[in-house]
Each structure stands twice: as structure tokens, then as C-alpha cells.
A and B are shown apart, each in its own frame.
Chain A
Amino acid sequence: MKYMILMQVRPDVLDALTAEQMQAIGEGHQAFIDSITASGEMLGTVALADPSQSKVVRGAAGGPEVVDGPFAETKEFMGGYYLVEVESEERALELARQIPDAAIDGLALEVRPVMFSAGSDV
């Protein structure tokens, strides 16, 4: 079963990280990547740039509009994802708990089943 583990980040939480926390996060992600690559569960991962660099193409009556994004009212943004192939939802949740973000107050991981995927990551 394919699951996407979405990393939900809050820029204000990231801004306040200490150097030690940043180092722990960086090393934790590398260890996590190594571990799920070795177990064959890794399909792909992406880290996204800050949401202030987003543009949004939004459907509109007169054709799509492009605006600076993403959504000013939200506090939480997608910071990146892991795409994994696991044997159960339980395992997907177990993997999500291993991601270093799970140790930081204010960050969250969303685990959702995949219905379809294509491209070099699959």
C-alpha cells in the first residue's frame, strides 16, 4: 500500500528552531531516508521551499489567474513529503513517528493513502 506522509510545517515554529534542533532534524531525516531505503519502503521524498516562494494558479471564469501564494490565512503549510510503500496503515504511522518533525512541538505529519501515482518516484 502506498502512503504519503505529508510534513505539515509552521514557519513561525521553524524560525524559532535552535542550531541543535536543526542539526538533529537534518541528521534525523538522513537516518530516516537511509532506514526506509534499506527496508525497501522508500519511493520518494521532497523538501519544499518556503511558502513565500509559492505562486497559485487558480481556476477562474475568465481563465486561470496566477497570484502570489499560497493562502495568507493559514498557519500550517506543506513542507514536503515522503512517499512510501508499506504493508499496513499501522506501519505508515510507525514510520511517521520516526520522522524528526514528530519530536518538535508545533510540527505535524499527515498520513494519507495514495490512490494513484505516476512518474519516476513510483
Chain B
Amino acid sequence: MTDRSFEDLWRGNAPQVLAALLRRYGAAQLDLCEDAVQEALLAAHQQWPTAGAPADARGWLLTVARRRMIDRIRSEHQRREREHAYADAWRPLADAETGHADDSVEVLRLCCHPSLSTPAQVALTLRAVAGLSTAQIARAHLLPEATIAQRISRAKARIRAVGAVFPEPSDADDRLDPVLAVLYVMFTEGHTSTEGADVNDVRLSDEAIRLARMLHRERAHDVEVAGLLALMLLTDARRAARTGARGELVPLDEQDRTRWDQELIAEGTGILDAALAGGRHGPYSIQAAIAALHDDAPSTETTDWPQILALYRLLELETGNPVATVNRAVAQAMVHGPESGLAAIDEIADARVRGDRRRIASVRAHLLERAGRPEEAIAEYLDAARATLSIPERDYLRARAARLRGGAAGSAAG
């Protein structure tokens, strides 16, 4: 067994072990429970590679975590006794620690609690559900370990302060929206971050896919869970082609499509098709369907743009989000010409001041270039470059402007 598969084994069991402790001690003890699980994971890390993995990995981790938990409660209890305070944790809520259905989804919902900020949800999820160490999470975010440690500990305190319970009473819909949003943010964040050199480094987009897979195993019938996983796989399939040799951004229409990962495309398409067979859809499955159409096409010219346009219209209706309108404008330009796309963007001109400046300027710039209006295109490329926070994207946009300037100068000279 390789080190990596040992790690998969203990990390894969982390949320279930945490769930067992949370069921017994309650969400208010998330802090103690989660620390106990981390210590059990550390023990596995130290012992399994030499002694071999136990036959019942989860049982082993649970036993170790439970012992650590009891040690912690004892010392906590003694400390509080001295302070004449009462330790809630001393009295478990329930005796049974096993025999429940898989609670990993419940742990995920707790970590994505709506009272937490997005960065806090991401960090807590990576530690408590993905089983990563604080150091690994810090490296993935390029932040000092102390910053992430504080973020996680504040998140746990907040869970306690708002009186979250575990497991949450399930309502009819069992809303997973906040969970899906957190995983998608994690995925897109990991998408843009730099590559680590350390062997223990993790890529946030890989972690997001791992968690989406876990969620999909538990909720295979949920079309949006399947849609999110498919969207991630279908997007990740283009990873190798998305950046050039010097790390520069390569836009979709210039990517070397032979470098797209056909296995991921097949898997993503399969998951999506199975989900859509039920006849329902939502924002993630619509976006996955669009990604699948791109992945399926040998070139920009042969892409099924009318179908993509129809899907963006559907997404626009479903979400009312200006981002969908901007993307619809791109598809509209491919079907009906750049001027038609520009007209579509003008419908949401007011969104430009509300924070969509970068996206709108960038799309307008591309459409103006295609419409043969280079001067206006240059101005929009530069405005988009000033609005972005990504250096590769900034350089890409400036280079487009420089190329047009060169072209304009060349034609003037010729």
C-alpha cells in the first residue's frame, strides 16, 4: 500500500468518525470532537505506514478519537471544576456511536453553516470533512498557518455560539445549496491558485472534487449534486490546456483540445446524463450541460452555439444573475453576430458598477474586436485589465490590447 492510499483511507473516514462523536456529544462540542479526530488522523499517519492499516480502519480511528475525546473532556472538566463551571461535554447526549446511516453529509452541512463567512466555511470543511491538516490548508491558500488556525477556531466558536445542532433536523427539501456553493467556491479558488512544490501540498480544486464525489455517493438522486460534480469534472478536464508554457492564460477558442482529459469528460458527461434523465435541472446541471457541449466540440466553430444559447437563457431565467446574461451575450454573438451580443450586454449596463466590471468589460472587448471596432476594443481590454485581481488574466488582457494596437498600427502603415 502506498502512502497516498493510506492517506485516502484515513481521510476518507474522517467525516464519519467526526459524525459519530458529534452525535454523541453535540455540535456545541465541535471544537473538542474535531481536535480528537485530527489526533486520530495523526496517529494513523504515524502508525499505519509501518504497522499496516487495520482491517477496520474506521473502527480504529473511532476508538482512538473517542479515547482522545475522553482525555480532553477529563482535562476540560477538571479545569472547569476549578473554575466552578459545568462541563456540558461530561454528559454525552447518546450512547450509541455507530449504527447510524452515513452522516458525512450532515458534517458537511454543519461546516457550511450559513452563519459562517465563506472563507470560514471553506477552511472548516477542508479540515473537518476533507481531513486536511491546518498546515496543508494554509499552504493551499498561501497563508500563514496561524491565520488558518485562527480562522478555523473562530468558525468552531461561532458554530457553538449560534447553537447549531447535529444532526440538523431534516426538512422536506434538505437544502444543500450552501454546501454546493462552498464546494464551488473551493473549486474555482483552487483553479486559479499557484501550484505547490511540497509533496504534501494539495490542490483546492482536487479537494472540492473529492468532496463533491463523496456528496454524490450519498445523494446520487440529487440532480444539482450530480450537476456540480459533472461541472467540476468537465471544467477540470481542460486544466492542462488552460495555461501555456509560461503560465499564461489560454482562452477556450485557442486551447489545444487534444490536451483535454477525455476520461474526465466521459465521466462528467455520464454523471450529467444520468442526472438529467430524471427530467429535472438546476443552475449547476445547466452549467454542466454547457460545459459538456464545449468539451464535446472539436473546435469553436463546430460548437453547438444555438444549444448553448438556449441553455444560458434557461440559466438566466432560473437565477436572474447578470453573469448568466454576460455569458448568454457571448453565445448570442456566436449565433447572431457580435453586434447582437453587444446589444445583449447593454441590457445589463448597470451591473457594471455593481462589481461585474471585469467580466463585462472583458466580454465587450472581445465582441468589439470581432465586430471590427479595434479602438473601442482596446479601451475595454485595458479597463478589464485594470479591474482584475489575477496577474495572468491582467497580462492576457493587456496582451490582447497590445496585439490590436500593433494590428491597427500595421494596417495604418500599410
Question: Is A49 engaged at the interface, CB distance under 8 Å to the other chain?
Answer: yes
Q: Is the CB of A18 within 8 A of B246?
A: no
Specify which chain B residues have a CB less than 8 angstroms from the CB of A53 in the assembled complex: 386-387, 389
Q: Is the CB of A19 within 8 A of B403?
A: yes
Residue of B144, B389, B402, B406 near A120 (CB, 8 A) is B144
Specify which chain A residues have a CB less than 8 angstroms from the CB of B399 in the assembled complex: 19, 22
User: Which of A11, A19, A27, A52 gathers most chain B CB within 10 Å?
Assistant: A19
Assembled-state Cα–Cα distance A16/B388 (Å) = 17
The 0/1 profile, CB within 8 Å of B marked 1, for residues 21-32 of chain A is 011001100000
Q: Is the CB of A47 within 8 A of B402?
A: no
| Nearest A residue to B383, CB-CB | A52
Question: Is A56 engaged at the interface, CB distance under 8 Å to the other chain?
Answer: no
Assembled-state Cα–Cα distance A16/B401 (Å) = 9
Specify which chain B residues have a CB less than 8 angstroms from the CB of A14 in the assembled complex: 398
Q: Is the CB of A27 within 8 A of B246?
A: yes
Specify which chain B residues have a CB less than 8 angstroms from the CB of A18 in the assembled complex: 402, 406
Q: Is the CB of B395 within 8 A of A26?
A: yes
Counting chain B residues whose Cβ lies within 8 A of the other chain, the interface size class is 20 to 34
Interface of chain B residues 236 through 257 with chain A (CB within 8 A):
246, 248
Specify which chain A residues have a CB less than 8 angstroms from the CB of B401 in the assembled complex: 15
* A44 CB to nearest chain B CB (Å): 11
Assembled-state Cα–Cα distance A15/B402 (Å) = 8
Specify which chain A residues have a CB less than 8 angstroms from the CB of B387 in the assembled complex: 50, 52-53
Assembled-state Cα–Cα distance A86/B364 (Å) = 47
Specify which chain A residues have a CB less than 8 angstroms from the CB of B391 in the assembled complex: 26, 47
Question: Is A17 engaged at the interface, CB distance under 8 Å to the other chain?
Answer: yes
In the complex, number of A-B residue pairs with CB atoms less than 8 Å apart? 41
Specify which chain A residues have a CB less than 8 angstroms from the CB of B398 in the assembled complex: 14-15, 17, 19, 22
Residue of B382, B395, B406 near A15 (CB, 8 A) is B382
| Nearest B residue to A49, CB-CB | B389
Specify which chain B residues have a CB less than 8 angstroms from the CB of A120 in the assembled complex: 144, 146-147
Interface of chain A residues 8 through 64 with chain B (CB within 8 A):
11, 14-19, 22-23, 26-27, 47, 49-50, 52-53
Assembled-state Cα–Cα distance A120/B144 (Å) = 7
| Nearest B residue to A15, CB-CB | B382
Assembled-state Cα–Cα distance A11/B385 (Å) = 11
Specify which chain A residues have a CB less than 8 angstroms from the CB of B389 in the assembled complex: 49, 53
Specify which chain A residues have a CB less than 8 angstroms from the CB of B395 in the assembled complex: 22-23, 26
From known contacts A47-B391, A52-B387, A53-B387, infer whether A19 and B402 are also in contact, taking CB-CB under 8 Å: yes
Specify which chain B residues have a CB less than 8 angstroms from the CB of A16 in the assembled complex: 402, 405
| Nearest B residue to A17, CB-CB | B398
Assembled-state Cα–Cα distance A49/B387 (Å) = 8
Specify which chain B residues have a CB less than 8 angstroms from the CB of A52 in the assembled complex: 386-387
* A11 CB to nearest chain B CB (Å): 7
Q: Is the CB of A50 within 8 A of B386?
A: yes
The 0/1 profile, CB within 8 Å of A marked 1, for residues 139-166 of chain B is 0000010110000000000000000000
Assembled-state Cα–Cα distance A49/B391 (Å) = 9
Assembled-state Cα–Cα distance A18/B395 (Å) = 10
Residue of B246, B382, B405 near A23 (CB, 8 A) is B246
* B396 CB to nearest chain A CB (Å): 9
Assembled-state Cα–Cα distance A53/B386 (Å) = 8
| Nearest A residue to B388, CB-CB | A49
8 tightest A-B CB contacts, nearest first: A50-B386, A19-B399, A120-B144, A15-B382, A22-B395, A52-B386, A18-B402, A19-B402
Binding site for A on B (CB under 8 A): 144, 146-147, 246, 248, 382, 385-389, 391, 395, 398-399, 401-403, 405-406
Binding site for B on A (CB under 8 A): 11, 14-19, 22-23, 26-27, 47, 49-50, 52-53, 120
With A17-B398, A27-B246, A52-B387 given, can you name 11 additional A-B contacts, CB distance below 8 Å? A15-B398, A16-B402, A19-B402, A22-B399, A23-B395, A26-B246, A26-B391, A26-B395, A47-B391, A49-B389, A53-B389
Q: What are 24 A-B pairs at a CB distance below 8 A?
A: A11-B386, A15-B385, A15-B401, A17-B398, A18-B406, A19-B402, A19-B403, A22-B395, A22-B398, A22-B399, A22-B402, A23-B246, A23-B395, A26-B391, A26-B395, A27-B246, A47-B391, A49-B388, A49-B389, A50-B386, A50-B387, A52-B386, A120-B144, A120-B146
